[in-house]
Amino acid sequence: MNPVFNILITSLISIFIFMTLFWYIGKRINNYAIVDVAWASALVLLCTIYFIMGNGFLLRKILILGMVGFWGLRLGGYLLFTRILGGHGEDERYANFRKDYGEHANRKFFTNIFMFQGLLDVFLSIPFLLACLNPVPEFQIYEFIGLGIFFIAIIGESIADRQLHSFKSKPENKGKNCEIGLWYYSRHPNYFFEWLIWVSYFLVSISPVFGILGFLGILPMIVMYIFLTKFSGVPMAEKLSLEKRGDVYKEYQRTTSAFIPWFKKP
C-alpha cells in the first residue's frame, strides 16, 4: 500500500478522534471557543504523525516539527490561558453561532466547526507532509530564508499578542482602540505575522524532487491569506469592533493599514 495513503488515513482517523475529544470538552465546560486551541494543537499532532511516518531527510523533519511545535504550542497555550481559562467567557463569534444554531447547537458545532476545522487542518498541513517526505540530504537557500521569516513572524506575533493583552487588561482603555506598538501601524498585526508563518512553512516545504507536486505547500499559504483577510480573521474582528466602538473605530480604519504594518494616513 502507498505510504502516503497510509499517512493520510492515519491522519484523518487521528484528527477525528482529537477534534471529537475537544468538542466534548467544549460541551462540558459550555465554551466552544476551545476549538481554537484544538485547531492549533491538531496541526502539531499532524506534523508529529508525518515526522514518525515520513521517510524524508531526518534533519529537515526535525526542523519542520520544531517550527510547527513551537508555533502551535505557543498559540494554543496563549489561547487556552487568556481566552478559555482567563475568565472572559465564550468568544463572541461562537456565542453568535450558538444563537444561530439554536437547539441544534451541539450537533452543528460538532460538524460545522470542529470537524470542518479538523479537515481544514489536514489540508493546511500539506507543507509539513512535503517536508517530512523530502529525501534531499541537504538544506537549500530558500529553506534558510523560510526559517528566518519564521523567527521574525513568531517574534512579531508574540509582541502583538502581548501588547493587545496588556492594553485590554487596563480598565481605563475600555471603549478605546489599541494603537500602541505594532497596533499603531496595523489594525491586525497579529494576523499579518500569523500569515508570515505560513509563508515560512511554504518555503521550507518546497520539494523540487517531487516535480510540480513539490510546490503544493503554496496552497495553504494562499488559503490562509484569504481566510485571514476576507473571512474569519480581519472582517469578523472589524465587524465586532465597529459594533463596540462605532465612529472611534471608523477613524482607526481610515488612518491605519488593515493588514500589512505601514505608516498612518494623515
C-alpha to C-alpha distance for 178 and 201, rounded to whole angstroms: 30
Name, in order, each residue with C-beta under 8 angstroms of 148's C-beta and a sequence gap of 6 or more. Answer: none
Burial 210-235 (b: 16+ CB within 10 A, else e): eeeebebbbebbeebbebbbeeebbe
Map out the domains of the chain as residue ranges: 1-57+86-135, 139-266
Q: E strands along 1-119, which residues?
A: none
Angle between helical axes of 35-53 and 116-124 (0-180°, round to 10): 40
| Cell matching residue 4 | 502516503
pLDDT 10s per residue in the chain (266 long)? 578 899 999 999 999 999 999 999 999 999 999 999 999 999 999 999 999 999 999 999 999 999 999 999 998 988 888 878 876 778 888 888 888 898 899 999 999 999 999 999 999 999 999 999 999 999 999 999 999 999 999 999 999 999 998 998 899 998 899 999 999 999 999 999 999 999 999 999 999 999 999 999 999 999 999 999 998 889 989 998 999 999 999 999 999 999 999 999 98
Count other C-beta atoms under 10 Å from residue 112's C-beta. 13
Instruction: Look at the chain and count its residues.
Output: 266
Q: Would you say 118 and 214 are in contact if contact means Cβ atoms under 8 Å apart?
A: no
Enter the pTM of the model.
Answer: 0.93
For residue 123, give the nearest of 262, 219, 2 by alpha carbon.
219
Res 1: pLDDT: 58
102: left (phi over 0), alpha (psi -120 to 50) or beta: left
C-alpha to C-alpha distance for 192 and 205, rounded to whole angstroms: 20
Is residue 70 classed exposed, middle or buried when 0-12, 13-18 and 19+ CB atoms within 10 A define those classes? middle
DSSP string, 227-266: HHHHSTTHHHHHHHHHHHHHHHHHHHHHHS-SSS--PPP-
Res 38: pLDDT: 96
